[in-house]
């Protein structure tokens, strides 16, 4: 059976850790130094392959709302993957991660199979490092999360974040844990017109 999946991803974490830069790097393979915090919900899409399947990733960015911890339900509802980002040069962004995990889990109770990834961004700033990679690794193990240190500037490990998470979703699907016809798991069936929704704020016409 050849089946297209679409997976909903969300990216969270403190302001300025590089969430929008990571997304931009993944989508455009480029670094944008001045990402503008648009107001409203924004998402972007890219296809990847896992085994013999083509999977469409729909990735939601907080668009500046993270400063207020005030996401609309549409933001976190029915996600397949949550990516938690901190900045390896700012300890407080790392210690904030468990709070972000709690917030998303509280607001995403409909998906017990949520795949989580912890990302220490700005690995290019080694001289300014304030969080040891072993601390990140330990936190990820405690929260049963994948863990990566990455850099939106160099592109190091950026594709891996999104691909490993998609692989884990696919494993859960193969294990029979996920009912793909049930939207709450963040798996959606294709085909879909992703372009419709790739501009800021426009959410009509898709079931996200
Ligand atoms: P957001 O608020 O989490 O979306 O963060 P942004 O993507 O807007 O990035 C915040 C700042 O960090 C910007 O000045 C970016 O240029 C910078 N930045 C983002 N990613 C990296 C990175 O991997 N390395 C370095 N050195 N700077 C980064
Ligand atoms: Mg941003």
Ligand 1 centroid, distance to 46 Cα (angstroms): 21
CA 44: distance to chain centroid? Answer: 11
Nearest atom in ligand 1 to 125's CA: 26
H/E run at residue 44: strand 42-50
Confidence of residue 200 (pLDDT cuts 50, 70, 90): very low
Write the pLDDT tens digit of every residue in 38-70. 555 677 889 899 988 888 899 988 766 777 776
Write the pLDDT tens digit of every residue in 92-136. 999 999 999 998 888 766 677 899 999 999 999 999 999 999 999
Q: How far apart are CA 196 and CA 202, in angstroms?
A: 8
Q: Is 17 a pocket residue for ligand 1 (Cβ < 6 Å)?
A: yes
Confidence of residue 85 (pLDDT cuts 50, 70, 90): very high
Contacts (Cβ under 8 Å, ≥6 apart) of 127: none
Give SS3 for 170.
Answer: helix
Instruction: Name the residue with the closest Cα to ligand 1, atom 18.
Output: 18
Contacts (Cβ under 8 Å, ≥6 apart) of 140: 118, 146, 147
Query: Which residue of 19, 27, 34, 35 sits with most ligand 1 atoms within 8 Å of its CB, as the best mutation to test the pocket?
Result: 35
pLDDT of residue 201: 35
Instruction: Name the residue with the closest Cα to ligand 1, atom 10.
Output: 16
Average pLDDT of the chain?
A: 82
Axis crossing angle, helix 19-28 with helix 158-174, rounded to the nearest 10: 80
pTM of the predicted protein model: 0.87
What structural domains and CATH numbers belong to the chain? 5-198 (3.40.50.300)
pLDDT of residue 52: 85
């Amino acid at each position: 059976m050849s089946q297209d999946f679409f997976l909903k991803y969300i990216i969270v974490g403190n302001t300025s850790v590089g969430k929008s830069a990571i997304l931009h790097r993944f989508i455009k393979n480029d670094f944008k130094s001045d990402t503008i915090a648009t107001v409203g919900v924004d998402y972007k899409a890219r296809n990847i392959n896992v085994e013999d399947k083509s999977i469409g990733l729909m990735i939601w960015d907080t668009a500046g709302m993270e400063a207020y911890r005030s996401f609309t339900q549409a933001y976190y509802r029915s996600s397949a993957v949550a990516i938690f980002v901190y900045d390896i040069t700012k300890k407080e962004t790392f210690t904030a991660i468990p709070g972000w995990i709690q917030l998303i889990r509280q607001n995403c109770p409909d998906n017990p199979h949520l795949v989580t990834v912890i990302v220490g961004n700005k690995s290019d700033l080694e001289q300014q490092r304030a969080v040891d990679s072993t601390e990140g690794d330990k936190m990820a193990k405690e929260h049963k999360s994948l863990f990566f240190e990455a850099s939106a500037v160099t592109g190091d490990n950026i594709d891996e974040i999104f691909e490993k998470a998609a692989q884990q979703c696919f494993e859960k699907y193969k294990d029979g844990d996920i009912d793909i016809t049930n939207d709450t798991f963040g798996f959606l069936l294709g085909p879909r017109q992703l372009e419709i929704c790739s501009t800021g704020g426009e959410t009509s016409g898709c079931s996200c």
